[in-house]
Amino acid sequence: MCDDVTEAHNEALIKSGVLTRRTFSAAGMATTLAACVSTPSDPKAVVERDVDITTPDGVCDSYFVAPASGKHAAIIVWPDIGGLRPAFREMGKALAQSGYAVLTVNPFYRSARGVQYDATKETIQQAMGRTRAFAGVLNASPDNPAKDATAFVAWLDKQKEVDTGKGIGTTGYCMGGPLVFRTMAAQPNRVKAGCTFHGGGLAVTTGTNEQAKANSPHLLIPKMGAKAVLCCVAQNDDMTDPAAKDVLKTSFAAAKIPAEIEVYPANHGWCVPDNGAVFNKAEADRAWGNMLKTWKMAGMA
């Protein structure tokens, strides 16, 4: 999940005036988010619906959106610590407009349904006071994300909008980054590409928590069947743990999985438009473009 040191650094930048909090009005939020999200120059018409997916641990409320006609490669989106909300719906819609069948899930369904972070009333840092506990329930066992991934893939493969002849991709933001790794490892025959954006704790190799090191997501890389992986690292995450990117590069190379690991000149949370002061549209657009290239590399275009 989000690293306390990184979040403290973001807060310090805000308090010093280097970054300025950005607030939303309820009335203007949808328009603002749509303007901030990367969209294709020739967007496809899409259809969208809220769905419930049964897992071994309950019912996961999710958002599904896909082009209005044809069959398409599927993508599973794991949101950040703020959970499934309007910002991630807009991002999912933009992906669908680019030609993909997109399932954005509520990672906290074991604890609560619906929106947990309302950007019109609070900041992401304030919401984290609640959602960290939800994330703890999700990550109480490494088996939980694997069970979820298996259920999501099975659900997608039954949808008429999904081309099962193509691999599935998955993206994750903040705490969703490790969930991308666990999804690729749990379903190596179906999940052929993964993209992480300011993912937290992808390679845990230091510290005194032996359990965390033993369950580090990077140890799952040999189990993956991915054809392409993208890891977009925040500059202040890299400052906290500069060795992590090298561990990832070495691990993917050893597994012979093509992987691009890059430190972006932006701070943790920069890709999500309602993440306040840290959102960086220019770098978010660049990361988005690299994500689309990753899907093509994996044969999902």
Quote the pLDDT of residue 4.
Answer: 52
- Give 251-297 pLDDT, tens digit per residue: 999 999 999 999 999 999 999 999 988 999 999 999 999 999 999 99
Q: What is the pLDDT of residues 206-245, one digit of tens each?
A: 887 898 899 999 999 999 999 999 999 999 999 999 999 9
Structural domain contains residue 118: yes
Look at residue 17 in the predicted model and tell me its pLDDT: 47
The pLDDT value recorded for residue 108 is 98
Specify if 137 maps to a domain.
Answer: yes
Mean pLDDT, range 155-175, rounded to an integer: 98
Note whether residue 68 is domain-resident. yes
- Asked if residue 35 belongs to a domain, the reply is no
- Looking at the structure of the chain, the number of domains it has is 1
C-alpha 268/C-alpha 9 separation (Å) is: 9
Please give the pLDDT value at position 64: 98
Q: Which domain holds residue 245?
A: 6-11+42-297
Residue 262 lies in a domain: yes
Where does the pLDDT of residue 29 fall: very low under 50, low under 70, confident under 90, or very high at 90 and above? low
CA distance 68 to 161: 8
Average of pLDDT values for 129-154? 96
Residues 124, 196, 3: CA angle, nearest 5 degrees: 45
What pTM did the predictor assign?
0.91
Asked whether residue 273 is assigned to any structural domain, the reply reads yes
CATH at residue 69: 3.40.50.1820
Alpha-carbon distance of 252 to 254, in angstroms, equals: 5
Please report whether residue 122 resides in a domain: yes
Sorted by sequence, the CB contacts under 8 Å of residue 7 that are 6+ apart come out as: 125, 128, 268
Average pLDDT, the chain: 91
Question: Which distant-in-sequence residues (6+ apart) come within 8 Å of 296 by Cβ?
Answer: none
* Domain contains 37: no
| Distances, alpha carbon 40 to alpha carbons 29, 48, 96, 159, 178, in Å | 21, 18, 10, 24, 28
